[in-house]
Each structure stands twice: as structure tokens, then as C-alpha cells.
């Protein structure tokens, strides 16, 4: 009897093992199918480049380009981007890159089929506001634009939530900066150009007549940049900025390169060519518009340094100067803080300006001995 009992027990164990094995084998495809139907992030060099949606979540054979949409969570605007189908998945690559710390909704035929979040990079460095230009604290009444330079790429579309001006009574000023649908960033998203409203600066336009100039001569303002602004890795700024600005007189005169004071270097040295402009100029345009050419019209290689609150420029050659003739060239696109360029002032009489002869650049001969 005991032998028969042991035999039956062993048979049950073997049968249970076989049934478990069959269940495991049958469950494998189901688990694999579930894994394949999970929405994922497409990564490249530690950056979220897109969202991967399995075709199994998109029933029907309609065009996914028309029926599949991605948008920020709690936002009604669909993101623009490119869709491509490969290996039973749809890859959505947005026109504006995905940002860490944000959640995104995936909709098919206007129905929510999933959400996915881009995680914050715990190892990312805390971003810093490196500089604000103009760097001087006294600005013209018709100041046209400001630059904000960061140590890391920042989130787009949030600038006016984190940058604002206070008046002398610490009241926030509305409508000071131009609110653009697409913010003006450099390719790396580390430099933001923020315009003060040109319609309020030009004195013959209706916004100026109704609301006046954004800044008023003789008044103090406080520029604020909030430390709650996040970079693309989801990290907030290291610290906020609070800076006092005093508003001086209007500047309606074009830059005059012919009046700049030059200090020439000696040949056989790499001493910088020193230029004193006498007024603060547009920081980033300075680097793009000033160059030195030799007698054969070849551009001299070197480094341009901007100093003294954007009033002085120093050009250091890569190789020692050779004795002879050189040419200082300044593109007509160079602007001062009020947007006046070499050819014409920003706030100008268009009819009179048509009669003026324009030039592509200013040129001055230099002799190095």
C-alpha cells in the first residue's frame, strides 16, 4: 500500500511540473507581447529624442500621421514633429526636443492611449545664469533687447514665466518684453534673445502712443530671473538674479566706427589691437561683425575679446603681426543697445532714410610697424 501511495504522489508531482512548464511556455508570448506594447522613450547620447509607440496600440490601418498625436500633459496643443514606422513601432521625433521632468500624453483618434514621463537626470549639473547683456546697469530709454546666457540648454517657451521687470514700487510690469510664439534661442539653447516691445519703442506707432515706452527715462527698475526655471535635464537654476537698472536718455544715433580710438600693436608680437568704441554695443553682434584683413584681403585669424561693459574690443592674432597694411572691417549690421546700426537708426523717418546711401561695411586702413 505504501509503495502504491508513493507512486501516486510522484505521478502528481510530475504532472504538476509538466502543467507548470506548459503554463510557463504559454505565458512567455503573452509577457513578450505586453512588453512590446509599452510606450517608450527613444534615447540618444543621454537625451530624449523621441517617443516610441507600438503599432499594437494603434488598431486599424489608417494613417498614424493624421491620427496619432503627442502633447504635454494637461496641454491641448499637439506637438509638431516627424513620424516614422519601423519594426512594428511608430517613432515620433518632436520639432522641439523633449524635456526631462515633463510628462507627455499619447492620443490616437483623440483618445488617450498612454502617458510617459522623461526622468530627471540625477547626475546632471545644476545650470547657471552665466551673464546678462547689456552688462552695464545704465541703459538707454529705448533699449531694444537683452541677452541671457546659461551654462546649459534651458527649457523653451517659459522665458516670460521666469524673467520680468519690477518698477520702483516693486510692481511687475506687463507687456515690457515682446511675447513671441517661438522664443529666440541659439542652436544650443544656451543664449536667449529677449526683445523689448518694438511697437512701444518706435514713437510713430500706435502701441507707443497708447502705452508709452517700455522704459522711462530717469527711473530705476529691477530685473528678475527666477531660480525656478529648469533646464532640459529638469534641473532648476542654481540661484535667481536680481539686478537694478537705471534708464538714461534715448539713443537715436548710429554707431560711428570712424571715431573709434585705436591702439596699434608692434610687428613681431601678438599684442592685441585695442579698440575703444566710446559706447556700449551689442555684445553678440560685436563678435560677428568685426574682423581684420591683411593687404591681400585675407582674414587674419585671431580672437576677439569684448571688455569694459561692451565699450572696448581687443583683437589678438593667432600669429605675430607682420609689418605692413591691415584693414579693420565693421559690418553695417553692428548695433548699439538701442538697435541703431551703422546705416540707420532704429527709430527713423523711413522716407528720409530711403535717400541715404547705405554701405555693407565700414573699413579703415591700419599700418603696423
Alpha-carbon Rg for the chain, nearest whole angstrom, is: 31
Interval 163-168 mean pLDDT: 96
Q: Percent of the chain beyond pLDDT 90? A: 69
Distance between CA 301 and CA 111 in Å, rounded?
A: 58
**How does 19-57 read in b/e, with b if 16+ C-beta sit within 10 Å?**
eeeeeeeeeeeeeeeeeeeebebeeeeebbebbbbbeeb
pLDDT at 59 over 80: no
- Ranked by mean pLDDT, the top range of 11-15, 76-80, 121-125, 161-165 is 161-165
Q: Which CATH number fits domain 257-368: 1.20.81.30, 3.20.20.140, 2.60.40.1220, 1.10.10.60?
A: 2.60.40.1220
| Grid coordinates belonging to 222 | 529691477
pLDDT for 311? 97
- Selected residue with higher pLDDT from 261 and 87: 261
What counts of helices (H) and strands (E) characterise the chain? 7, 22
The per-residue pLDDT for 331 is 97
What is the spatial distance between Cα 64 and Cα 194, in angstroms, rounded to a whole number? 37
Q: In 3-state terms, what secondary structure has residue 21?
A: helix
pLDDT confidence bin for 96, thresholds 50/70/90: confident
Q: Report residue 122's pLDDT band, with 50, 70 and 90 as the boundaries.
A: confident
What local confidence, expressed as pLDDT, does residue 204 receive?
85
Q: What is the architecture of the domain spanning 129-247?
A: Sandwich (2.60)
| Residue 101 pLDDT level (bands cut at 50, 70, 90) | confident
Using the Cα atoms of residue 217, residue 162, residue 185 and residue 208 in order, give the sign of their dihedral: negative
Has residue 52 got a pLDDT over 90? Answer: yes
Q: Of the spans 3-12, 17-26, 44-53, which averages the highest pLDDT? A: 44-53
pLDDT > 80? residue 18 = no
Is residue 51 a contact partner of residue 70, using CB atoms and an 8 Å limit? yes
If pLDDT is split at 50, 70 and 90, which confidence band does 233 have?
A: confident
DSSP 3-state of 156: coil
Which of residues 97 and 305 earns the better pLDDT score?
A: 305
Assess contact for 253 and 358: CB atoms under 8 A: no
- Domain at 40-117: CATH code: 2.60.40
Between strands 47-54 and 68-72, the pairing is unpaired
Give alpha helix (H) positions in the chain. Answer: 2-36, 64-67, 159-162, 198-201, 206-211, 283-289, 350-354
Average pLDDT, the chain: 87
Q: Cα 112 from chain centroid? A: 31
Q: What is the mean pLDDT of residues 299-315?
A: 97
Could you tell me which residues are beta bridge partners of residue 170? none
- pLDDT for position 363: 95
What pLDDT shows up at residue 62? 64
> Residue 353 — pLDDT band, cuts 50, 70, 90?
low
Q: Is the pLDDT of residue 99 over 90?
A: no
pLDDT of residue 181: 86
Is pLDDT larger for residue 121 or for residue 272? 272
- Higher-confidence residue: 141 or 31? 141
Q: Return the pLDDT at 354.
A: 55
Q: Check if the beta carbon of residue 57 is closer than 8 Å to that of residue 108.
A: yes
Every domain range in the chain assigned CATH 2.60.40.1220: 129-247, 257-368
* Residue whose C-alpha is closest to residue 334's, from 347, 325, 346, 326: 346
Q: What is the pLDDT of residue 74?
A: 87
Residue 61 has what pLDDT? 58
Alpha carbon distance 23, 159 (integer Å):
56
Are 39 and 50 a contacting pair, CB within 8 Å? Answer: no
Amino acid at each position: 500500500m505504501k509503495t502504491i501511495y508513493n507512486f501516486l504522489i510522484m505521478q502528481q508531482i510530475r504532472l504538476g511540473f509538466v502543467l507548470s512548464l506548459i503554463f510557463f511556455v504559454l505565458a512567455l508570448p503573452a509577457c513578450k507581447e505586453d512588453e512590446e506594447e509599452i510606450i517608450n522613450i527613444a534615447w540618444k547620447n543621454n537625451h530624449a529624442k523621441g517617443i516610441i509607440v507600438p503599432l499594437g496600440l494603434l488598431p486599424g490601418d489608417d494613417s498614424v500621421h493624421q491620427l496619432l498625436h503627442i502633447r504635454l500633459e494637461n496641454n491641448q496643443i499637439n506637438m509638431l514633429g516627424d513620424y516614422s514606422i519601423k519594426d512594428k513601432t511608430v517613432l515620433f521625433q518632436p520639432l522641439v526636443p523633449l524635456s526631462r521632468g515633463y510628462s507627455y500624453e499619447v492620443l490616437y483618434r483623440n483618445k488617450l492611449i498612454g502617458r510617459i514621463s522623461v526622468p530627471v537626470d540625477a547626475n546632471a549639473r545644476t545650470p547657471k545664469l552665466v551673464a546678462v547683456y547689456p552688462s552695464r546697469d545704465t541703459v538707454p530709454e529705448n533699449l531694444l533687447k537683452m541677452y541671457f546666457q546659461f551654462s546649459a540648454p534651458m527649457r523653451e517657451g517659459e522665458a516670460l514665466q521666469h524673467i520680468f521687470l519690477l518698477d520702483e514700487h516693486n510692481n511687475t510690469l506687463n507687456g515690457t518684453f515682446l511675447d513671441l510664439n517661438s522664443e529666440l534661442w541659439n542652436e544650443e539653447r544656451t543664449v536667449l534673445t529677449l526683445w523689448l516691445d518694438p511697437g512701444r519703442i518706435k514713437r510713430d506707432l500706435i502701441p507707443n502712443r497708447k502705452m508709452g515706452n517700455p522704459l522711462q527715462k530717469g527711473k530705476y527698475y529691477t530685473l528678475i530671473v527666477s531660480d525656478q526655471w529648469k533646464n532640459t535635464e529638469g534641473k532648476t537654476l542654481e540661484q535667481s538674479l536680481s539686478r537694478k537698472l537705471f534708464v538714461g536718455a534715448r539713443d537715436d544715433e548710429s554707431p560711428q566706427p570712424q571715431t573709434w580710438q585705436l591702439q596699434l600693436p608692434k610687428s613681431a608680437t601678438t599684442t592685441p589691437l585695442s579698440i575703444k568704441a566710446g559706447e556700449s554695443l551689442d555684445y553678440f553682434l560685436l563678435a560677428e561683425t568685426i574682423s581684420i584683413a591683411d593687404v591681400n584681403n585675407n582674414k587674419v585669424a585671431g580672437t576677439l575679446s569684448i571688455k569694459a561693459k561692451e565699450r572696448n574690443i581687443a583683437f589678438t592674432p593667432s600669429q605675430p603681426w607682420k609689418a605692413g597694411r591691415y584693414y579693420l572691417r565693421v559690418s553695417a549690421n553692428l548695433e548699439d543697445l538701442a538697435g541703431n546700426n551703422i546705416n540707420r537708426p532704429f527709430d527713423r523717418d523711413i522716407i528720409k532714410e530711403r535717400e541715404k546711401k547705405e554701405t555693407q561695411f565700414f573699413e579703415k586702413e591700419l599700418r603696423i610697424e
